[in-house]
Amino acid sequence: MDWVYNVPIKFYEYGITDLKDTLTEYLSKDNVVLIASKRLIRDNDLTDVLSNVNDTFTLFDESMKSLDTHLICDYFKQIKQKPELIIAIGGGTSIDFAKAISALYEYTGNGNITVDEVVDIITSKKYLENTNYIPIIASSTTAGTGSDCTKWATIWDYDNTKKYSIDADYLYPTQSWLIPELTLTLPKSLTLSTALDALSHACEAYWSVSTNKIVQVLSRDAIRLIVEYLPKVLSDMNNLEYRKKVYMGSFFAGLAFSNTRTTACHSISYPLTLLYGIPHGYAVALTLAEVLKRNKDYIEDYDLFMDAWNADSIADIDCWINNVSKDIQTLKLSSFDVKEEEIAVIIKLTFTGGRMDNNPIVFNEDEVRDILSNVY
């Protein structure tokens, strides 16, 4: 067997009206947790849906920027009893939070767990033995992170400058609701950073050592849609047709990297987010062209990859990334308050197992130094 492609999720494309009907039905059941932000509920007129539900339902006002070990412990205390179902409607952090509850709730005493216990369960991989996990329904409100298509979640440990993954077959959402209308209220910076994250997922899936023909078709379509329509969305933010194209591009990117995981760009990005708070999408897009330069000779069907970008050269791609970002965020390390002399410290933290070694060539420290210096 050369390869297998597997995503055991039921996908539904919905409008807001379908969402209201479906949510009403699910929230009438006992012990349901909904993770959604108050802004999302207000902006999409969902208040009525939530006012008629029974009292065993828990709503998290999810507006955190990243999921860290302390937040998990704090939020666990709010759950009234073990949930039967978790519905997460939000960005990647909301969906990752649902996965953390699913994987870890079994190890809490009525929601009580310490940060050290969370770290131990994750790093010892004890959560893999969990047979009482909680099913998840996910709906992504950003066109970006792809967490609605994957079986893993990112958890940050700022106390120890570490980034963890929980990764288990049971963490695939059972359903994913695709609702492009929910992205209409996303501000410019979030629209850009999440789309750049999706674009990186598509590129990294394409050149990953675990790539395959289905992944490559999905990646090319994702790249084509995002490259053509992201600039249009950014100049016409309320255009639903353009939003739908970027949403589907991001969805295809999610399907692509769900079967490969990511590579060097993501591996290098983690310390940039941990140490400097650089938003994930910017942190990965920063090195995309530099990594591509080095991977070029190892990419199968490279011409088709470049066709998807509608680019003749890597310089064209670099130019596209800088142009689409220029009015919102300069993609240089110096614009995020990184000091040049700190690059030596960053390099040591860029080698994440399962990411750097998933790149078609494994970089050494000197090559990472070159990449980071070129984007300083």
Phi (first) and psi of residue 282, to 5 degrees: -70, -40
Q: Whole-number minimum distance, CB 349 to Fe ion, in Å? A: 17
Residues 192-251 close enough to bind Fe ion by CB under 5 A = 197
Are 35 and 98 within 8 A, CB to CB?
A: yes
Q: Whole-number minimum distance, CB 284 to Fe ion, in Å? A: 6
Q: What is the DSSP string of 270-292?
A: HHHHHHH---HHHHHHTTHHHHH
Q: Which is nearer to Fe ion, 179 or 265 (CB)?
A: 265
Count other Cβ atoms within 10 Å, centred on residue 334: 11
Task: Report the alpha-carbon distance of residue 164 to residue 93 in Å, rounded.
Answer: 14
Burial (Cβ within 10 Å: 0-12, 13-18, ≥19) of residue 372:
buried
Are 204 and 265 within 8 A, CB to CB?
A: yes
Q: Residue with structure tokens 């609701």? A: 177
User: Residues binding Fe ion: what is the number (CB under 5 A)?
Assistant: 1
Are 355 and 230 within 8 A, CB to CB?
A: no
Q: Which is nearer to Fe ion, 243 or 280 (CB)?
A: 280
Q: Whole-number minimum distance, CB 121 to Fe ion, in Å? A: 24
Closest residue to bound Fe ion by CB = 197
Q: Whole-number minimum distance, CB 139 to Fe ion, in Å? A: 18
Q: Whole-number minimum distance, CB 96 to Fe ion, in Å? A: 11
Phi (first) and psi of residue 209, to 5 degrees: -65, -20
Q: Which is nearer to Fe ion, 197 or 318 (CB)?
A: 197
Encoded amino acid at 291, one letter: V
- Interface characters, 150-189, with Fe ion (x: CB under 5 A): ----------------------------------------
Q: Which is nearer to Fe ion, 22 or 267 (CB)?
A: 267
Q: Which is nearer to Fe ion, 44 or 329 (CB)?
A: 329
Q: Which is nearer to Fe ion, 79 or 148 (CB)?
A: 148
Residue 318 is a binding residue for Fe ion (CB under 5 A): no
Q: Whole-number minimum distance, CB 92 to Fe ion, in Å? A: 8
Are 177 and 19 within 8 A, CB to CB?
A: yes
Residues within the interface to Fe ion (CB under 5 A): 197
